[in-house]
A = this chain, B = another copy of it.
Amino acid sequence: MARHGQAGDTAPATEQAPRKLDPHLDRYAARTEGMTASEIRALFAVASRPEVVSLAGGMPNLAALPLESLATQLSDTIAEDGQVALQYGSAHGVPKLREQICEIMALENIQAHPDDVVITVGSQMGLDMVTRLFCDPGDVVIAEGPSYVGALGSFTAYQAEVVHVEMDDDGLVPSRLEEALTQTAKQGKRVKFLYTIPNFHNPAGVTLAVSRREQVLEICRRHGVLVIEDNPYGLLGFDGQVYQALRATDPDNVVYLGSFSKTFASGIRVGWVLAPHAVREKLVLAAESATLCPPTLNQLLVSRYLSTHDWMGQIKKFREIYRERRDAIISALEQHMPPGCSWTHPDGGFYVWVTVPEGVDTKAMLPRAVTARVAYASGTGFYADGLGSRQMRLSYCYPTPERLKEGVRRLAGVLESELELVQTFGTVHNRLTSGPESPSPDTA
């Protein structure tokens, strides 16, 4: 009866005024203002059709994974350790896996104690936790320009302001970093950390030169700024080169983020943070309030995989897959792209960063590219400040070399049409008022 009466009560309200689209609009926290659905989502539905060559996503290529062996390992994990694997664990992570992670990081000359490793649900969670620990609203994060879209998302979620620092073919430019830090200090802003991807940068495809690493660290130390070193691709150098981590040189001022997403499998969501000891304690508490603990099952699976499988051999296979694709896309770019385009030359990782001639807007061009059955990530999504409209990120990690070549051929055709329009009308800027926004981080 009560419910019936209520239905009657609410009826007049619907007659009074049109209902707001979101009745909770006045309730959201200020931090949600930066959270807007990227328009590319709708586009991705189209872009993921099989006839479209997608150079947009950053999904690792898992074709080389030994599924049968993994199935057995997972089955054994449950059969032998089920009561542990299916139970809550600590927010800190499984001790044995933390030890194994230290062995992996030793490849980059990092000397770390397993106590200072915190396991996270992918390194995205590491990013989120580090930002949670350090950033008050209005604090500044220095990041390369362009930078990883998922990192920008986390910084936005904590209302941090992002200041980009220019890169060249040798990565972050130290003199520009110095300028940015001096400038923000002059403005009375508080810089909390430099967020950097030193190796095989996403999206730029460049690597921080060895000669610059000590400089970058010294500048940050001098300015009292922490360094967040995000290194998901570090072991994916195509010539087997492994760079010394920033963390190896400056353990007290670097927080290192690692991940198994690119060297093993992304769908298990196991990453880690290596933090200075004092920071680590707070990190565990933050992680506990975020997810209680990372999935125990997944941690035991990774640990067993590392113990029983030739994981370095597997990484070598991945490298070969990606190198073959890098070669394919670079040669296709050289062959097809119209004059005035330039691109980076990645020697590891997943991405090429392409700059197109003046007058072309990659964001506005994207729907036309998808119509021509090729997708990419327009550069604007990788900047917090609106730059990037003359850039695009091409991911070569997933498609076959043949598809990559076909994709670039189509993209070049679209670009040529754009350039004809530019030559005729001067610019094609703003011809579409609502272009797609940014790439989805879950494929970035």
Contacts of A440 in B (CB 8 A): 288
CB distance from A56 to the nearest CB of B (A): 13
Q: How far is the CA of A294 from the CA of B290 in the complex (A)?
A: 13
Q: Which of B21, B85, B156, B285 contacts A289 (CB 8 A)?
A: B156
Q: Are A279 and B62 in contact (CB under 8 A)?
A: no
Is residue A286 contacting chain B, with contact meaning CB distance below 8 A? yes
In the complex, whether A136 has a CB less than 8 A from a CB of chain B is: yes
Given contacts A21-B278, A192-B27, contact A288 B87 (CB under 8 A): no
- Report chain B residues within 8 Å CB of A158: 29
Question: How many whole Å from A218's CB to the nearest CB in chain B?
Answer: 8
A181 within 8 A of B: no
Chain B residue nearest in CB terms to A89: B267
Q: Of A67-75, A372-380, A417-425, which stretch is located at the interface?
A: A67-75
Most buried by B among A65, A78, A293: A78
Of the A-B pairs whose beta carbons lie under 8 Å apart in the complex, a sample of 14, sorted by A's number, is A23-B252, A25-B278, A31-B136, A35-B285, A59-B87, A59-B88, A67-B82, A71-B77, A71-B79, A89-B267, A90-B442, A124-B292, A128-B290, A132-B157
Report the bound CA distance from A328 to B292 in whole Å.
29
Instruction: Indicate whether A30 reaches chain B with its CB closer than 8 angstroms.
Output: yes
Least distance between A393 CB and chain B CB atoms (Å): 16
Residue in A32, A37, A295, A296 with the greatest tally of chain B CB atoms within 10 Å: A295
Interfacial residues of chain A within 279-309, with CB under 8 A of chain B in the complex:
279, 281-282, 285-286, 288-298
Assuming A67-B79, A89-B267, is B441 touching A289 (CB within 8 A)? yes
Asked whether any CB of chain B lies closer than 8 Å to the CB of A86, the reply is yes
A121: CB under 8 A from chain B? yes
B60, B157, B292, B442: the one within 8 Å of A89 (CB): B442
Chain B nearest CB, measured from A371 CB (Å): 24
Q: How far is the CA of A265 from the CA of B85 in the complex (A)?
A: 9
Q: A37-B285, A265-B87, A276-B24 are in contact. Are A32 and B291 (CB under 8 A)?
A: no
When each residue 124-160 of chain A gets 1 if its CB lies under 8 Å from chain B and 0 otherwise, what string results?
A: 1100100011111001000000000010011011100
Chain B residues with Cβ below 8 Å from A86 are 62, 65, 70, 265-268
Question: Which chain B residues lie closer than 8 Å to A122 at the CB level?
Answer: 291-292
Return A251 CB to nearest CB of chain B, in Å. 12
* Docked-complex contact B71 and A133, CB < 8 angstroms: no
In the bound complex, CA of A27 to CA of B156 (Å): 18
Given the known inter-chain contacts A214-B2, A281-B37, please indicate yes or no for A132 contacting B31, CB distance below 8 A. Answer: yes
Bound complex: CA A23 to CA B226 (Å)? 11
Q: Top 4 closest A-B pairs, CB basis? A: A22-B278, A267-B296, A86-B265, A75-B75
| Distance of A229 Cα from B128 Cα, bound (Å) | 25
A182 at the interface (CB under 8 A from B): no
Give the distance to chain B from A109, nearest Cβ to Cβ, in Å.
12
Most buried by B among A70, A84, A86, A134: A86
- A286 neighbours in B (Cβ, 8 Å): 32, 35, 157
What CA separation (Å) do A13 and B226 show in the bound complex?
A: 19
| Chain B residues whose C-beta falls within 8 Å of the C-beta of A290 in the assembled complex | 124-125, 128, 154, 157, 290
Other-chain residue from B67, B90, B267, B441 in contact with A295 (beta carbon distance below 8 A): B267
A13 CB → nearest B CB, Å? 12
A204-219 Cβ-contact flags toward B at 8 Å (1 or 0):
0000000000100000
A76-B71, A136-B29, A441-B288 known; A266 vs B87 contact (CB < 8 Å)? yes
